[in-house]
Structures are given as C-alpha cells and as structure tokens.
Structure 1
Amino acid sequence: MGKWCWRMMVDKEGLWYRVLKARYGEEGGRLKKGDRHSSAWWQSLCRICEWVGEGVGRWFDSNIRRVVGDGRGTYFWHDIWVGEVPLKIKFPRLFDLSVDNECSVEKMWRIIGAAEGRERLWRRRLFAWEEESVRECSMLLHNIVFQETVEDTWTWLLDHMHGYSVRGAYRFLNTTTELGDSHQAVNIWHQQIPSKVSVFVWRLLRNRLPTKDNFVRRRVISHEDAICVSGCGSQETSNHLFLGCDIFGSLWSQIYTYVL
C-alpha cells in the first residue's frame, strides 16, 4: 500500500498520476491539493506531506529528491534536484520573472547554453544584480552531466538502495518525534503507574486527546463549535485545557499541589 501511494504521488508517467492530474489538475509541478469539493479520500492523501508525524515538518518532501538523467522529466524550478530546496525558493526573483515556470531541466540547459535566445527566458530585461543570479544559476547547470538514455527518477533519501517503504517511514517518524521526549517516555511508562494513566499522558503529549481542535481538524465539528467546554471563550486545545484555561488550568494546579 505504501509503495502504491508513493508512486501515485510522484510517478508522473504512471497511470494513477495522470488520472489524478486530469481530475484535480497540476500546479507547480505537483498534483493540486484537495479542497472542500474534493473527495475525503483525496483530501486525506494530500495531507500526507504536511501533518503525518507532527513536529517533523514536511517530512515527505524533505526526504525525496529528483535524480537527473536526461533532464526531461524534472521541473527546473519546482523539483528538488540540486541542493536542499527547489530553485524557485533559492532564486525567487528569477522564478517570478521566468516566462515558463514549468520548464524542464533539459530545456533550461539548452536555452542557457545557447549563444542566442536567452532573453526569451524572462518577462523583461534583467537588472545587473539579477544577471548575477542568472550566472549563479547557470553554474548549477554546467555541473550537471546528462545521460541521454536514462530517464529522470525519484530517490528516497532514507534508503537509497531499496527506496521508500512504510517500515522505513514509520521508523523515521517514531525516532524523530520521540527523541525530544525520551526522558518523558521513561517516566510515562513506569511500572508503578497505572496503564490507563500512562496511555492518557502519552496521548496528551502527542495531542491525540479528543479535544475540540482535533475534532475540527477531522471535520467532526465546525470552527464555531470549538469553544472551550468551560465557557471561557477560548478555543479548546490540550494546552489550553491543562495550562491556559482560567477554570481548568487552576484546577490542575491545585490537584498537583495536593498530590505533592
């Protein structure tokens, strides 16, 4: 299942990618994200790059890279094929001035390498400092060795040999999210603590309690209904209930003092 999802999201020549592109469209070299008019399945799948593994950022995008072969299947501006970020982030001014924001690496190389015709890359004549950015950008292309008989591919940085796997992604997410709480985990799962208490605290630290903000995220209730159950007027979150709420926050503090 994990391999299938991976190929569906990034394999632009695959059948599923083409079907989804026809259904939802493509923007910035990627499939458009689901909106309220999309199916619940597609909306959930799109969120894989954003909120799976809270606290580790855009973990999916950060661990894939485009490996250039012939350069025809890689977006020059949008894909991460050189460096750590897309070139539209590294050279935002040039990206805004580019006539063709969807051009491939191979096409950009042909135009920049030509003696004439470079001016058709940009919407207007460039200033001197912008020309300097073009020269820096050109150096990236000069360092690329194209292979005419090899198609561009995706690589999974966590396992270059075997590629993406659910096990590898799960191990990465668990390791990354639990490193900062390792000392807490030891205390949480202490043998003298009742298991139901350990489970509750574990869910609290990872924001997995059935608070109203989580219900909103899962579209069980609307934003208008996410007010704290105490009636204080603030949005109900785990941090608010246990720390910030004028009513419940003071209650937990008194319980803590009593126990000690």
Structure 2
Amino acid sequence: MNIRGLNFNGMWNENPLDIKEAAVKHFEKIFTSSTTYCASLEDLRYRKISDEEALNLEAPFCEKEIWDAISDCGSSKAPGPDGFNMGFFKKFWYIIKDDLVEVEKGYPGSHWYGAVRLLERSASISILINGSPTNEFKMGRGVRQGDPLSPSLFIIAAEGLNILTSIAVKKGLFKGVKVGNNNTVVSHLQYADDTMIGVKKDDVESLASRLGCQYGTIPFLCLGLPVGSKMKKSKAWSPISAIVLAGTEVDNLGVPFTNSFIKIFGDGVGTSYWNEEWIGGYKVKNKFSRLFKLETDVDAEVRERIVGNGSDARGNWRWSRNPTGRTLGELEELERMLKAYGLDNSSKDTTKWILDNKGLFSVKKLSVLLDEKVLDNYKGNFETLHNNLMPKKVEVFLWRTLLHRLPVRTELDKRGVDLHSVTCPICDDDLETVEHIIWPCKTANDVWTRVFKWWNINFSGNTMEDLLRGTTSLFPSVSGQKIWQTVNWICGYVIWKNRNQKAFNNKSMVVSMLMQEFQILTFDWISRRIKGVVIDWIKWLSNPSTYAV
C-alpha cells in the first residue's frame, strides 16, 4: 500500500520529497541515542562459558561447519547482492569449497570485539517510502532488521531480565505463584521472545502497567491450542475441531479414518465416562441421556464410576437424586453392560487404531492406505510415499506420471488440442505417450542404461512401472532403498525436463550432458537432505552404490 500523504505540523502534505524528509526525521529521532536513564547490567552475575568453550568459539571454521551452514539455507536465498544464491554454493561446493574455507579462516574469532565495534559505529539505515529509499542516517541506538548483532543482544537482555527477576524474588519484592502438588514456586517463564511473570491476582494490573505490557487469564490459546484448560472437557477441544474435519476428507477418499480409533481399557484414568465413546461405540451420555441429567460431575473419569472387575463390576454413582421410572430402567441396562468393562489397574488406557495390524497409528501407514485407494486402478498399486530426499516437484511429477496426467502429445490430442504432430519430439519415431517418453524413447533408454551401469545394476524390467518401482530389493537397508528410489525418480524427472526443452524451445541435451545434469542434481538434493551421512562428490561419481548399502 502506497503512502499518499502525511499529516505533519498540522498540515496535510502529499509532496514525495516532504514525505521522505518527515519519515527520516521521525525515525532518526527514534534511533538517536538518548540521555535518559537506562538500566545497567554491569553488576549482574551472568553465567559464563568455560575457557575451553571460549576457545572453541574463537577457533577457525572447519569445512563441515561451513557446509552445514550452507546446507541449512534455502537455495533461493542470497547472502549478498552479487547474484550468487545459496543454490550456487550447494551445486558447486565441490569446486569452490577450498577457496571458501580459506576465506573464512581469514576472519578468526580473535577479531570478534573489533568486528562488533565496527558494526556498531558504521551502522546506518534508510527508510523505504513507496518503494523509494530515503537518504541514509547513522544509528545511535538499536540495530537494523537482520543485523547479526541482534540475536546476541537479545540473549543479553533476556538473560538480564531473568537475573533481575530472580533477584526480586529473593528480596521479597514479589513471590511468584505456587503450582503442582509440591507447591513449586514459579516466578517467571521464558520461551524465545515470550516472557510470563507469575504474580498474585491483586498485583497483576499494577505490574503490567509498570512494565508496559498486557495481562491475561488462564485458560488462553497458544498456537490455536488451549493452555491451562481441563482437557477432559469436550469444549476445550473446540479450537482444534478442524482436525476432525480433516478426518472426514480422508473418509471421502475411501479410507474410514474418523471411526478407526477404539478405546482399550486399563485403569480408567484419563477417559471421560460420559463424554467418550468407550462403551458400545457411543457416548454414554447419548445412550443414557436421562441418567446423564442426574450426574453431579459430568467430567468424571471411568475409574471414578466403575468399581470391581468382570462379573463383579458395578457402578459407583453420584446422582443428584435417586433414579426412578424410565431413568431406573436405563440404570439397570447400564449396570448389565458394565459387566464387560471391568478395570485393570496393571495397565493404562490406550487407543487402538484398527486400520493397522499392531493397532498403532502412523502417518506412513495412512499414506499407504490412501495410495492404495487413490491408485487402486493403477497396475501394481504403486506406492507414492513421501520421500524427504527429493523436492516436492519431483514427487508431483511422479504422481502425474503414474496417473497418466503428463501433458504428452497423445493425451493432449485426446482432449481436442490441435497439434501439428503427436509423435515424440525427441526421437520422432513413435507416438508420444507417457510410457514412451520415460522409457522406450532412444534418448531416455540411453540415459537409463548409463544410470544402471553407473550404479552397477542389472535391470530386467519391461515396463515403465517396473522402471519407476526402482529395484529396491537390491538394497537391504531402508536408507539404501530410499536413496536408490530418489535416484530413480530424479532420472525420470530429468528426462521429462529435457523433453520440455525440445518441445517448447527446440533445444535438448545430448545423453552425456543429460547424465552430467542428473548426477549433479542427485548429489545436490540427496547430500543436502540426508541425515547423518556426508556424501563426497568424487565418490558419488565413481561408486554411488556404497551410500545405499
């Protein structure tokens, strides 16, 4: 949104130069050092690191530290305006790493103090007004957005507040609050840039006013979840009802998810007697509504309403009045049903997921079930499970390939798109189908042949499904199978990209260049995403299968 004008000195002004000047004066005043009193932290006893830890901080960076830092950055991010983003450093790390490490060693930790002073004295900022920057001005206090000093200053200030608050408690200036069965005193809690100070109710408003902050009450919402609420009350879960709605979407795909969890009884602790579906697949309050109206504690747990086991199990009721008439009939029926639900104090209540043989829920298993339903008409029920070693775009490509959703010429022709030809743009020898462009096409076949030779694999499949399934049985470990699966899918992705270059720009790479592009991509994506393994570029080129053992 553009700033059309500003009201300053009692006058409305739309002159761009005057607006810039007013903005500079406003922020220059904010960032000018003030002579007013500032709290001193000099006398506070900060915790200190050991001499050994200090030496480690001042030691030159090693190659692994630099690579780890680069790997954690997004490829589209750039450390400076020179046009080289982090993707460049990742892709050509094997070439530039020696020079880069030497440059980093030119900035030893012993110059830390001087670097801080330099940053402090040279800091200047400008204000962006409607996309146009103002003249720069020096900063007398504070730091700029993204300033490398900012995290360190924050830690100093946050730890200073922690120390000051602890001193105030020791001097009896305030006492904090007692929580838990052991009456543990909690004066304050700090997490990231959030601070909670616990004081007595009568002191809350006064302290909040002095600190210039807001105050609230418990329960409250944090990241959409209730904090400090009784979670066995159904209303406490209303903020996250969207999770249940998401379950119904899974149901619509053919997997009965929302009703796939059942309660397995143990000691009855933590299970709501009236509000959970633990008996007969329904909530007790719905089945025995008249009895529920007589209950004195609607949030009672199962352990509070059942005594005994098996045929000896009976209710331990707390009615507002004795049941009569139809209500008495409900009570007799409920007592009969309780005979099958005795408590077992040797185990805890658990939830069983009936869609898994072991009764354990996992996202991976649910993904498999969804794959089987979504792709049930596809030959082989190919699993398109999430593979975190490759970018999302490759997974999307694989889905489209398996579902025959790639815009090859024969598919476009079926949809009435007017094309000058439906033959393969690469080889021009056959109709361009999904199967043809990924496997039988001569260029694609030559690439696959080189890939199998590179990995020392004998491929005996005949179809695209066999190809993309990826002979994972040749690798015993799960990590090895995932690496080879990644290599397999990226190869298909590279072949498809080359096809698009030919179809739209009349450009395509020869097989040797395609192979080089493929090897760089697999090394880049896998080495940056795999955990606990350092992949060497030279070894990757010469014998990649050693990483899949």
**Under TM normalisation by the shorter chain, which class is it?**
0.3 to 0.5
TM-score in terms of structure 2 length = 0.25
TM-score in terms of structure 1 length = 0.48
Instruction: State the structure with more CA Rg.
Output: 2
